[in-house]
Amino acid sequence: MASLTLRDVKKNYGEVQVIHGVDLDIVDGEFVVFVGPSGCGKSTLLRMIAGLEEISGGSVSIGDREVNEVAASKRGVSMVFQTYALYPHMTVYKNMAFGLKQAKTDPAEIDKRVKEAAEILQITDYLNRSPRNLSGGQRQRVAIGRAIVRHPEVFLFDEPLSNLDAALRVQTRLEIARLHESLKTTMIYVTHDQVEAMTLADKIVVLRDGRIEQIGSPIALYEYPENAFVAQFIGSPKMNFFSGEDLTQSGNAKLGRDVEPGMQVGLRPEHLSITDNSNSVVEGTLELVENLGEYSLVHLRTSSGVEFIAKTEKPPETPKGTVISFTVKPELAHFFDTESGGRLA
């Protein structure tokens, strides 16, 4: 196991800079998730840590060792890719053992490591099968097992669940969480799915356009986003944003402060509660209800044309086109500067 340190890390492709001076400290044994929209640089940053991309500036250190000039195979990291990249002509056992065999590891040690990893991942019964006879989730576990047998100091996961269906994503996500709990190894996990980030991470790194927007625990990012981008990216459904003109006449008073020009207020869908219009913060015309069983997502539009969502336990018993009023506890409201997106005290 090892800590990881990035100092002023940059990446250029010709004249185009895609990573802009990233500084990051990852503690030994920590599970860190890089999250952000497509094209934000999260996979590029992961590949720079792995040694698969050269860095254009700054330094990457694993433990006490700077690895800028160290080959990927010598960095003590193992990477699990989005695609399984298994050898179709080899059995599961041979796929997991291949890297160790190439490194001329003792056969007895190879056998021990493969069987230990197979037991952890519950794939012992599949060791003599070929990859084509496995499900997608089983193949991904083999790919993870191939990384485990190397006993790396750092595990790197590049969107490993994106090729799985919804049920398998949940199952494999739990297996990765249990794996971290068992191995206590430093893990860095890349995803664009904020649900994966919230459920897996000790610490989340939110990226946008090659820059870090915020670093913190999942609950810290949810409750205290430093800017409007993080506020909308963390949470599902995403946070609603309103200007002062979008709120009711009593809305400002209910929130405990005036929403002045140049300000916007963020209200999470799950914090909106249906109320009578005398107590409302925001009102909207009902346009659509998604009834998901345990809860409903109610889609509405304010008189000023702003679309928003409320998350309710039961669907509203009113027809489409009805105006519904909502209130919110003032301590659950977030205030941001409209121009910069920065959080307001």
Confidence of residue 130 (pLDDT cuts 50, 70, 90): very high
Residue 46 CA to residue 88 CA, distance in Å, equals 26
Question: With 80 as the cut, is the pLDDT of residue 251 above it?
Answer: no
Q: Give per-residue pLDDT as tens, 261-312.
A: 999 999 999 999 999 877 899 999 999 999 998 999 999 999 999 999 999 9
Mean pLDDT of the chain: 92
* 198-232 per-position pLDDT tens digit: 999 999 999 999 999 999 999 999 999 999 999 99
- Span of 37-51, 62-76, 132-146 with lowest mean pLDDT: 132-146
168: confidence class by pLDDT, cuts 50, 70, 90: confident
Between CA 62 and CA 159 the distance in angstroms is 22
C-alpha 238/C-alpha 268 separation (Å) is: 7
* Concatenated DSSP letters of 156-184: EEESTTTTS-HHHHHHHHHHHHHHHHHH-
The answer, yes or no, to whether residue 30 has pLDDT greater than 90, is yes
Domains of the chain: 4-232 (3.40.50.300), 237-337 (2.40.50.140)
pLDDT at residue 1, rounded to an integer: 66
pLDDT of residue 194: 85
Handedness of CA 253, 254, 256, 261 (dihedral sign): negative
- Largest distance between two CA atoms of the chain: 77
pTM score: 0.89
Query: pLDDT by residue (tens digit) across 84-109?
Result: 788 999 999 999 999 899 889 999 99
Average pLDDT over residues 20-38: 95
Q: Band of the pLDDT at 258, cuts 50, 70, 90? A: confident
The yes-or-no verdict on residue 173 having pLDDT over 90 is no
How big, in percent rounded to 5, are the helix, strand and coil portions of the chain? 30, 30, 35
